[in-house]
């Protein structure tokens, strides 16, 4: 969605892995770092990129071409909060590089994601969930379900965080990108309170985006089985990478037991069962299989999965 080539490049889009091994870019980055402007330049770029992808987008009209004859948000041909693919690409790139765009920028992008969530594909939604879990892992909700009111309350910091809940004031103090990365003096209580309030507002907006996309993935996942009376065969057709990314994000964000996660757990179970069945078939073909009955080799019951 956004491309940044420090020092001037060919204009081709590079993956994070390619960027890290590009000698010309590394040399340019070294020069910028020596001048002490690398972090400021990067922060400015990320804010600009986030602002651009969060802008409303006009899409093709039914008759072809770009429809710019109206801006009515209820009319066909207008996206209120940006293009889902651009939003997904930008957030995924930020997370892959471990570059947080800043709380204000993240809030704008999250709001755009929420307003266009029903237009996301399963892959785009899972990518954004993965990105949010990577960039904003402290986000969680009470009792690890989705019954909260989305006010940004947190119990834990997600999987691997190694600590309990983190109040907004503590997060701002420990976070270089929160509220513009400003540092406040010990006596500047008003500024600290304002920053904490802003951080809580960001958490609430991001939480709404997570809820919207989790529901979107769950709906698409459930739809994969709607054409069959037996869900397992159809569930195995749902994309494995989408399932993995979405469930990992659910674990980090404290939503493993929420209703939106249930279809994904069924996908995981169905895929494990299918994998076990395929392994058994290969073993039988090579004369390596155990007994087919009574707990034979390679059987999987799926116990413990939803």
267 burial type by CB count under 10 A (0-12 exposed, 13-18 middle, 19+ buried)? buried
Other C-beta atoms closer than 10 Å to the C-beta of 135 total 18
Model's pTM, two decimal places?
A: 0.59
Residue 1: pLDDT over 50? no
Exposed, middle or buried by CB within 10 Å (0-12, 13-18, 19+), for 291? exposed
Q: How do 78-79 and 57-58 pair as beta strands? A: antiparallel
- 133 DSSP β-pair partners: none
For residue 42, the Cα-to-chain-centroid distance in whole angstroms is 21
pLDDT digits (tens, 9 = 90+) for 60-105: 444 444 444 444 444 344 445 578 999 999 999 999 988 888 888 8
- Cα-Cα end-to-end distance for the chain: 37
How do residues 28-69 score in pLDDT, each as one tens digit? Answer: 656 555 555 777 777 888 888 888 888 876 544 444 444 444
Question: Considering the chain, what percentage of its residues have pLDDT values greater than 90?
Answer: 12
- The whole-angstrom separation of Cα 290 and Cα 297 is 5
pLDDT at 240 over 50: yes
136 pLDDT above the threshold of 80? yes
pLDDT at 128: 94
Share of residues in the chain with pLDDT > 70 (%): 52
Question: Rounded distance, CA 81 to CA 73, Å?
Answer: 10
Neighbours of 216 (CB within 10 A): 25
Higher pLDDT among residues 248 and 183, named by residue: 248
Report the candidate in 5, 6, 172, 18 with the shortest Cα–Cα distance to residue 102. Answer: 172
């Amino acid at each position: 969605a956004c491309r940044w080539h420090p020092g001037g490049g060919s204009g081709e889009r590079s993956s994070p892995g390619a960027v890290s091994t590009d000698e010309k870019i590394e040399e340019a980055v070294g020069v910028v770092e020596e001048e002490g402007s690398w972090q400021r330049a990067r922060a400015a770029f990320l804010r600009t990129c986030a602002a651009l992808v969060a802008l409303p987008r006009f899409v093709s009209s039914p008759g072809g071409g770009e429809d710019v004859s109206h801006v009515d948000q209820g009319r066909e041909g207008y996206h209120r909060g940006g293009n889902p693919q651009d939003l997904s690409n930008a957030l995924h790139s930020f997370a892959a590089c471990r570059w947080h765009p800043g709380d204000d920028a993240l809030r704008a992008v999250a709001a755009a994601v929420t307003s266009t969530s029903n237009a996301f594909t399963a892959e785009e939604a899972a990518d954004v969930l993965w990105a949010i879990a990577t960039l904003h892992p402290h986000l969680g909700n009470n009792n690890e379900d989705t019954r909260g009111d989305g006010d940004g309350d947190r119990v834990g910091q997600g999987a691997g965080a190694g600590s309990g809940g983190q109040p907004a004031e503590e997060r701002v103090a420990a976070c270089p990108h929160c509220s513009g990365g400003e540092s406040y003096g010990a006596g500047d209580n008003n500024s600290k309170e304002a920053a904490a309030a802003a951080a809580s507002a960001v958490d609430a907006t991001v939480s709404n985006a997570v809820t919207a996309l989790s529901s979107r993935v769950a709906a698409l996942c459930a739809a994969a089985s709607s054409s069959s009376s037996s869900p397992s065969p159809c569930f195995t057709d749902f994309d494995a990478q989408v399932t993995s990314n979405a469930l990992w994000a659910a674990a980090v964000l404290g939503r493993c037991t929420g209703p939106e996660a249930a279809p994904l757990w069924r996908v995981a179970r169905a895929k494990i069962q299918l994998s076990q069945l395929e392994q058994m078939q290969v073993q039988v073909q090579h004369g390596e299989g155990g007994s087919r009955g009574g707990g034979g080799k390679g059987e999987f019951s799926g116990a413990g999965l939803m």
